[in-house]
Amino acid sequence: MTENTENFEALLDQSLKKIKNFEGKVVNGKVISIDHNHALIDVGLKSEGRVSMDELRFCDKEKEIKVGDKIDVFVERVEDKNGEAVLSREKAKKEVAFDAFNQLLEKDKAIDGKIYGKVKGGYTVDIDGVITFLPGSQVDIKPVKDINHLIEQKLSFKVLKIDKERGNIVISRKAFLEESFKKNLKDVKKNLKEG
């Protein structure tokens, strides 16, 4: 082997390690331009990536994203067929949120969110910009045919299951309501006296 070949192999190894260090990770990027549909974000790779403005508006309701802003994004792939990095703001928020949701699950605590859409088998719920899944059977204690009165209302939920590999967080309003009902029943029984 020549010295040039060894140098090339070393450079290639370094480059591949850098790629592996980015893919599947949350990294901080800088918004370098915005058009009507996408924000172009530089995360320190050889090419930038795009995130749809709809995704940014959903995940960052509290502030408007502008050129120069630094935001966390999830690197799905370092390069797609167009040579751009494949980035996701939603997956970055979910990745960061997994720890918080795990703590809620372990401590059996409730969290507030809003039902905003219907999907196969249930509903999507926005919890601080993180999309979670509410199975149809977990909407209420008794079966509910029409949930229109619940859409966009601030409601409390319990975390049922977290599947980090698939990126799913399953929640339940039913579990929260059952717990509240049991607690209220206990309080009522405590305050009841003979006669």
Assign residue 68 a region (left: φ > 0; alpha: ψ between -120 and 50; beta: otherwise). Answer: left
Query: For residue 95, what pLDDT is reported?
Result: 83
* Confidence band of 171 (pLDDT split at 50, 70, 90): very high
137: pLDDT strictly greater than 80 = yes
Query: In this predicted model, which residue has the larger pLDDT, 7 or 52?
Result: 52
With 0-12 / 13-18 / 19 or more C-beta atoms within 10 angstroms meaning exposed / middle / buried, residue 126 is middle
Of 5 and 122, more confident = 122
Q: Which two tokens stand for residue 91?
A: 């997956």
pLDDT at 11: 60
pLDDT score of 195 more than 60: no
- Over the range 134-170, which residues count as b (16 or more CB within 10 Å of their CB) and which as e? beeebbeeeeeeebeebeeeebbbbbbebeeeeeebb
Asked whether the predicted pLDDT for residue 56 surpasses 60, the reply is yes
Looking at residue 3, its pLDDT comes to 59
Report DSSP letters for 91-125, one per residue: HHHHHHHHHHHHHHHHHT-EEEEEEEEEETTEEEE
pLDDT at 8: 61
57-83 average pLDDT score = 84
Mean pLDDT over 5-11 rounds to 63
Per-residue pLDDT tens for 86-111? 899 988 888 888 888 988 889 989 99
Asked if residue 115 lies in contact with residue 124, where contact means CB atoms within 8 angstroms, the answer is yes
